[in-house]
Chains A and B, each alone.
Chain A
């Protein structure tokens, strides 16, 4: 297709898109105008019936906890896919020398970057744990805290310490963490089934709104999701890192 034809096609498509967009946007309700019922109901019962001050977490981990189960297994399955695609294949082999002296040449991290990363690691981990355990009180929760936690070991890599990162977050451990988190969340649901009669119905004491240990199952569910998400991200990260740094594909055609 020549450049002229492509531009012509684009012009037609853009004009059509513009018309539809204007038509669609003109029918929208005014900015900030909410006509739904569900949101108001949640606003009303979140604190009184669930003892959670952050209603998003109340939705995710209690009222619509079943949806989160599905989302969690979407993440789980997609990370499994990444692991499957990036596995070491025939014709690929580990780079020959992988000792301590090597990683400095790979990282190329300056002293300043290294010092900054060192400073960042404890801060990132502290913020991550804080967000996970305060999910039901302030914005945050398992997913948000989990991705923050996964960034911690990544800061070790940022410091040019690829091999050290594999010591901090070894494959088996992160895989185990991911699986344990996924199972833990499902177990919270089973707990509801066993002790309260309905899957994911809250079965733990609700406590005082605004306290760290409150809102029943949300804390436990949030911790499980945090573990699962940070594990999932670390599994994906380390698979990518292995491919980029440690695995070498041998020249095609010649079997070594």
Chain B
């Protein structure tokens, strides 16, 4: 294994932990996209550029956007329910 491969694997290990430890869903989403970037590095240094290419967009743009939009919807519903109770 080269130094790059070890570094990329370490980044994934740290990133995965960071995603779990970030408890607020909003922060978690942003950490998740950074973690996705680490995964891209792993795929790239392990000679799978095809996978890396799709992972770039899916993990740094696609997934976070969907989670963020879902969060927005959930919070809006919660706010409406609270207003109703008051």
- Asked if A154 and B1 sit within 8 Å, CB to CB, the answer is no
Instruction: Bits for B63-79, please: 1 = Cβ < 8 Å to A, else 0.
Output: 00110011011001100
**Within 8 Å CB of A31, what residues of B?**
1
Let me know if A241 is at the binding interface, CB within 8 A: yes
Among A54, A139, A147, A241, contact of B57 (Cβ-Cβ < 8 Å): A147
**Size bracket, chain B contacts:** 20 to 34
Complex Cα–Cα for A96 and B84 (A): 20
A binding-site residues for B, Cβ under 8 Å: 31, 54, 56-57, 131, 139-141, 143-144, 147-148, 150-151, 154, 233, 236-237, 240-241, 243-244, 249, 251-252
**Within 8 Å CB of A131, what residues of B?**
53
B binding-site residues for A, Cβ under 8 Å: 1, 49-50, 53-54, 56-58, 61-62, 65-66, 69-70, 72-73, 76-77, 80-81, 84
- Asked if A139 and B80 sit within 8 Å, CB to CB, the answer is no
Complex Cα–Cα for A167 and B1 (A): 49
**Within 8 Å CB of B80, what residues of A?**
249, 251
- Asked if A139 and B84 sit within 8 Å, CB to CB, the answer is no
Given A148-B57, A154-B61, A249-B77; A243-B69 close (CB under 8 Å): yes
Complex Cα–Cα for A251 and B85 (A): 11
Among B50, B69, B73, contact of A144 (Cβ-Cβ < 8 Å): B50
